[in-house]
């Protein structure tokens, strides 16, 4: 081990967190070589410019040598406080300086409770038998725990108050939302009711119109039937073909039919009344005995026809007026 040089080229001490140059293999402390590279940018031993300075996990010009690091930890170094212990392992140097070195000056462990004593390791051990604060350490610790609990309770109480305020705010918000929800429900109910009324109104009007149309059509059909029956009756009276056969007393075996066509005009249509009668051929002064009755019957039928027509027209106009009003 003595043949291996593990000293830093810059500080001449055993390397701490070593870095090795890839070009020449020189060893450096990480802190030393970092400061050097930041100033000059090259290796102080071979003067070659490194790429960069990184951790031992990276591939750079300065690498971390684990073998050298193990040798450095096992090597013995002098105590920086020049205590009587002499040399200690480099791996234990930190604990020795902080806890066991006899020349290091440290305060009393009860400083946080008010003790102001300071001394080395041996002096602190002797002070422990006389320190009043150290004897009351349990009381101070109990008080400290009580204070910590009170702080926690205060924090919880404050947090509880905040929670109460938040809960109160949420309750108010919930109440406002509930009222708004009720108002919206009422508006929706009114809108639905109006929609139902609007949708049912056309159905009622359409059904009423259907009833009115059906009644109007029925009235028209009744008027048409009455009109047709009156026309049929009038046609049968005015345009009927009657055949009167009369036998002459003097000529029982000689019969002659005479066709008489008499045009008659009623309103806008032209009708013809045709009468077949039998009269003696050589007696121009002969008149049929039913001719006078036929003329009276025709006059009566014409009056009846005009009256029925006037009634039908009046009824038809009345039905139209009723339909328009509805």
pTM, to two decimals: 0.31
Please tell me whether residue 62 adopts helix, strand or coil conformation.
strand
d(CA 214, CA 220): 10
d(CA 143, CA 201): 85
With CA atoms as reference, report the closest residue to 16 among 37, 2, 30, 34.
Answer: 30
Cβ neighbors of 294 (< 8 A, separation 6 or more) are 275
Please tell me whether residue 166 adopts helix, strand or coil conformation.
helix
**Helix/strand/coil percentages in the chain, nearest 5:** 55, 15, 30
Specify the residue for token string 């684990």.
66
One digit per residue, the tens of pLDDT, for the chain of length 326 reads: 446 678 888 888 888 888 888 778 788 888 888 888 888 777 888 877 654 555 544 445 566 666 677 777 777 777 777 777 777 777 777 777 777 777 778 888 888 888 888 888 788 888 888 888 888 888 888 888 888 888 888 888 888 888 888 888 888 888 898 898 888 989 898 898 888 888 876 666 666 666 566 666 777 777 677 666 656 555 555 444 444 444 444 444 444 444 444 444 444 444 444 444 444 444 444 444 444 444 455 555 556 666 667 777 777 777 666 665 55
The token pair that represents 231 in the structure block: 């026309």
For residue 111, the 8-state DSSP code is G
User: Measuring CA to CA, how many Å separate 170 from each of 165, 173, 233, 325?
Assistant: 9, 5, 94, 62
266-271: long-range contacts (C-beta < 8 A, 24 or more apart)? Answer: 266/234, 266/238, 266/302, 271/235, 271/238, 271/239
Q: How many residues does the chain have?
A: 326
């Amino acid at each position: 081990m003595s043949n291996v040089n593990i000293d830093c080229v810059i500080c001449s001490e055993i390397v701490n967190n070593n870095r090795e140059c890839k070009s020449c293999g020189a060893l450096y402390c990480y802190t030393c070589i970092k400061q050097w590279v930041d100033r000059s940018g090259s290796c102080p031993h071979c003067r070659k410019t490194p790429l960069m300075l990184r951790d031992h996990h990276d591939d750079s010009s300065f690498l971390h040598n684990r073998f050298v690091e193990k040798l450095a930890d096992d090597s013995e170094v002098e105590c920086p406080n020049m205590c009587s212990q002499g040399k200690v392992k480099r791996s234990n140097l930190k604990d020795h300086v902080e806890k066991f070195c006899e020349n290091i000056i440290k305060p009393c462990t009860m400083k946080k409770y008010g003790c102001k004593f300071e001394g080395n390791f041996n002096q602190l051990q002797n002070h422990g038998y006389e320190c009043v604060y150290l004897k009351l350490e349990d009381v101070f610790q109990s008080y400290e725990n009580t204070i910590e609990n009170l702080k926690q309770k205060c924090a919880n109480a404050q947090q509880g108050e905040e929670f109460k305020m938040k809960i109160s705010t949420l309750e108010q918000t919930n109440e406002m939302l509930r009222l708004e929800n009720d108002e919206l429900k009422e508006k929706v109910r009114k809108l639905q009711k109006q929609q139902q009324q609007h949708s049912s109104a056309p159905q009622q009007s359409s059904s009423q119109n259907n009833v009115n149309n059906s009644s109007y059509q029925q009235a028209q059909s009744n008027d048409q039937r009455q009109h047709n029956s009156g026309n049929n009756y009038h046609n049968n009276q005015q345009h009927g073909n009657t055949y009167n056969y009369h036998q002459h007393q003097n000529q029982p075996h000689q019969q002659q039919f005479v066709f008489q066509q008499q045009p008659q005009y009623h309103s806008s249509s032209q009708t013809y009344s045709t009468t077949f009668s039998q009269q003696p051929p050589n007696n121009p002064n002969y008149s049929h005995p039913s001719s006078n009755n036929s003329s009276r019957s025709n006059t009566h039928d014409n009056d009846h026809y005009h009256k029925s027509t006037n009634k039908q027209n009046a009824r038809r106009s009345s039905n139209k007026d009723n339909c328009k009003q509805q």
